[in-house]
Structure 1
């Protein structure tokens, strides 16, 4: 005869395995538990009947799994509703100019695109370097000391010799220090919002030309 303890161990083992690998739903676990419980009762040793504490423990595990899966389903639904609501609210950004993290800037007709920098804490030195397509520094802008916050960078489209740079694509990088330590500034660019979209990472603003940014990264709206 199969003993209660052996069958009980099998039940607990099966439940624990399902809990660890997440391969079964609450309904699957309940069906499996009831099937094995009936087997336990049919094969229990009259001299060693079913242990109530063991049964209670197994029922508690099933209840916990069922409750957690119900909560997960509810949370998923709430997150989906929140994401949809945020996307609708963000639709108001379409047509607006925003400032987002980025390091690309173009010059057209001798006029450069607007750029900026987000300084997380007061810095005693802030420097911006503009680079051409080959990575050569064409202009260094010393912004000196700056308080924390989002700042516009004034670049007139000229190089360090005072000559206008050629139209085309450029990039820039920023550096800021306080007492000789990097304060981790963030380079920013401007873009006009063309559309709002979303993916697994959240709501995105589409700035055209394949450029997107998370709506959470928008530093300024104008």
Structure 2
């Protein structure tokens, strides 16, 4: 397993080289013995009843198949080395970037934006986004008003909420003296709830996270180590930001 935690194409000690596997001693012995057996068979065959040509050709074909399999194995080893090397290079370029994964938790950086998305299965007039502290305290409740069905893109800077490019004026009903301040950088949990067919429905969310490092497993699998979220598989990434 190899951890990659630097950008710029440097793989921090990761060394992946194309290796041409030499034929093993067992394979060489097997091929040599095969040929020796054929020659011995030809030398000692009954001259009055020589080996049938068809049988001899079949033996040659068998030998060719063994040689072909060896060459195929060597080619596959070379292909695997190239593929693994390419994966490592791609993985290193993800460090420091932001990705979107299925999550209710996100890190708000200083002067940063938390972006994400959720799918609304049906139009609704009652919908809200709740923001909780890491300790579970409800900090903000942002009503969204009428929303049509479909995929919704969300952006939040600690105070202002944007849905599909439009600012949600969720503080309009709050008295000026009670207007909230922007939340400081930190780890927050988001819940999106909507009234669907008369029932409150909690929607699945996908939120952005920064890639701190990348882990390349021996089997070629790639895991991303995300700030505040831990480890996720590269296959679970919904979007590269």
With normalisation by structure 2, the TM-score equals: 0.48
* Equivalent of residue 66 in structure 2, options 49, 62, 67: 62
Q: C-alpha separation between the residues in 1 aligned to 2:84 and 2:221?
A: 12
1:145 aligns with 2:143: no
Higher relative contact order (CA 8 A, sep 6+): 2
1:219 aligns with 2:221: no
Structure 1 residues 107 and 29, CA, compared in 2 at 3 Å: closer, same or farther?
Answer: closer
Output one character per residue of 1:11-55: Cα deviation in whole Å (capped at 9) or x when no partner. Answer: xxxxxxxxxxxxxx9543342133134234424532242732212
Alpha carbons 2:212, 2:226 under 8 Å: kept: yes
**The structure with more helix, counted as a fraction of residues:** 1
Structure 1 residues 153 and 72, CA, compared in 2 at 3 Å: closer, same or farther?
Answer: same
Alpha carbons 1:105, 1:115 under 8 Å: kept: no
Pairwise CA RMSD: 4.7
Alpha carbons 2:91, 2:214 under 8 Å: kept: yes
Alpha carbons 2:105, 2:229 under 8 Å: kept: no
Identify the residue that residue 210 of structure 2 maps to in structure 1.
192
1:104 aligns with 2:108: no
How far apart are 1:60 and its partner, in Å? 2.2
Q: C-alpha separation between the residues in 2 aligned to 1:31 and 1:174?
A: 70
SS in 1 for 2:34: helix
Identify the residue that residue 78 of structure 2 maps to in structure 1.
74
Structure 1 residues 114 and 123, CA, compared in 2 at 3 Å: closer, same or farther?
Answer: same
After superposition, residues 148-163 of structure 1 pair within 5 angstroms as 151-152=153-154
The alignment of Structure 1 onto Structure 2 pairs a total of residues equal to: 168
Give 4+ residue runs of structure 1 displaced > 4 Å after superposition. 122-134, 139-143, 153-158, 167-175
Output one character per residue of 1:126-184: Cα deviation in whole Å (capped at 9) or x when no partner. Answer: 888879999xxxx8978743455x611779799xxx9x9xx997565789x9xxxxxxx
Alpha carbons 1:174, 1:186 under 8 Å: kept: no
Output one character per residue of 1:172-204: Cα deviation in whole Å (capped at 9) or x when no partner. Answer: 5789x9xxxxxxx963122233233333312x4
Output one character per residue of 1:50-69: Cα deviation in whole Å (capped at 9) or x when no partner. Answer: 73221221122112212211
Runs of 5+ consecutive residues of structure 1 not aligned to the other structure = 1-24, 178-184
With normalisation by structure 1, the TM-score equals: 0.51
How far apart are 1:80 and its partner, in Å? 2.4
